[in-house]
């Protein structure tokens, strides 16, 4: 029994003495460690980046919306402003109609809930298709302003415009 007890204590002490040695040098080479530290330092200088984000809420008229983006980062320009990539927004109106807007880029102000959609803006509302380069949703004014190469396709025809203003 004392031989087994001695062997067990020896194994425990040997294990903990080897465990305390710095084994991180064996796992990563010095070059890999330096590269990791550079990436960590670079990431701390840049803004926070979030992936697959979703915001939802109500506008001032009580209409529900959901805003999704594949990527978002804090803006350097203004606090509370998010720069978005690959954006999709759903607006659910009280009349049971739905507006869907997609774009390559966008901005979302999480303080006043205003949204800007830019580059390849596509919108669908009540069997109509909207194409433009920029759309701005102003929550405080209940306005949707669409500009830059505006084109609306509908079963009744096609409309081309420089600017459209929708009072939501």
Q: Cα separation of 147 and 131, whole Å? A: 10
Strand blocks (E) in 7-127: 49-58, 64-74, 81-92, 98-109, 115-125
Which 8-state DSSP code applies to residue 72? E
> What angle is formed at CA 136 by the lines to CA 94 and CA 162, rounded to 5 degrees?
110
The answer to whether residue 45 scores a pLDDT higher than 50 is no
Residues 149, 159: contact at Cβ < 8 Å? no
Residues 135, 146: contact at Cβ < 8 Å? yes
The answer to whether residue 165 scores a pLDDT higher than 60 is yes
35 three-state secondary structure: helix
Question: In sequence order, which residues have a C-beta less than 8 Å from that of residue 30 and are 6 or more positions away?
Answer: none
Q: What percent of the chain has pLDDT over 70?
A: 87
CB count, 10 Å around CB of 12? 10
What integer pLDDT is reported at residue 162 of this predicted model? 86
Q: What percent of the chain has pLDDT over 90?
A: 7
Q: How much is the mean pLDDT over the chain?
A: 81
What integer pLDDT is reported at residue 19 of this predicted model? 55
The answer to whether residue 41 scores a pLDDT higher than 70 is no
Range 132-157 average pLDDT: 86
Q: Cα separation of 156 and 161, whole Å? A: 16
The answer to whether residue 167 scores a pLDDT higher than 60 is yes
Residues 154, 168: contact at Cβ < 8 Å? no
Token pair recorded at residue 153 = 């396709």
The answer to whether residue 31 scores a pLDDT higher than 60 is yes
What integer pLDDT is reported at residue 88 of this predicted model? 92
Residues 146, 133: contact at Cβ < 8 Å? no
For the chain, where are the alpha helices, taking DSSP H only? 2-19, 24-27, 30-45
CB count, 10 Å around CB of 132? 24
Is the entire prediction scored with pTM above 0.75?
A: no
Which 8-state DSSP code applies to residue 95? T
The answer to whether residue 52 scores a pLDDT higher than 50 is yes
Range 67-94 average pLDDT: 84
Band of residue 86 on the pLDDT scale cut at 50, 70, 90: very high
Range 57-68 average pLDDT: 82
């Amino acid at each position: 029994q004392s031989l087994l007890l001695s062997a067990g204590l020896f194994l425990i002490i040997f294990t903990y003495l080897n465990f305390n040695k710095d084994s991180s040098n064996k796992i990563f080479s010095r070059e890999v460690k330096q590269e990791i530290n550079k990436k960590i330092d670079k990431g701390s200088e840049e803004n926070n980046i979030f992936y697959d984000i979703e915001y939802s809420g109500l506008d001032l008229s009580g209409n529900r919306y959901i805003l999704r983006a594949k990527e978002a980062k804090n803006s350097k320009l203004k606090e509370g402003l998010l720069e978005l990539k690959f954006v999709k927004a759903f607006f659910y109106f009280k009349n049971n109609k739905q507006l869907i807007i997609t774009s390559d880029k966008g901005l979302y102000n999480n303080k006043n809930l205003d949204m800007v959609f830019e580059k390849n803006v596509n919108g669908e509302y009540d069997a109509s298709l909207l194409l433009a380069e920029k759309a701005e949703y102003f929550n405080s004014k209940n306005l949707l302003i669409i500009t830059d190469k505006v084109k609306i396709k509908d079963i009744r025809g096609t409309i081309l415009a420089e600017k459209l203003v929708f009072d939501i």
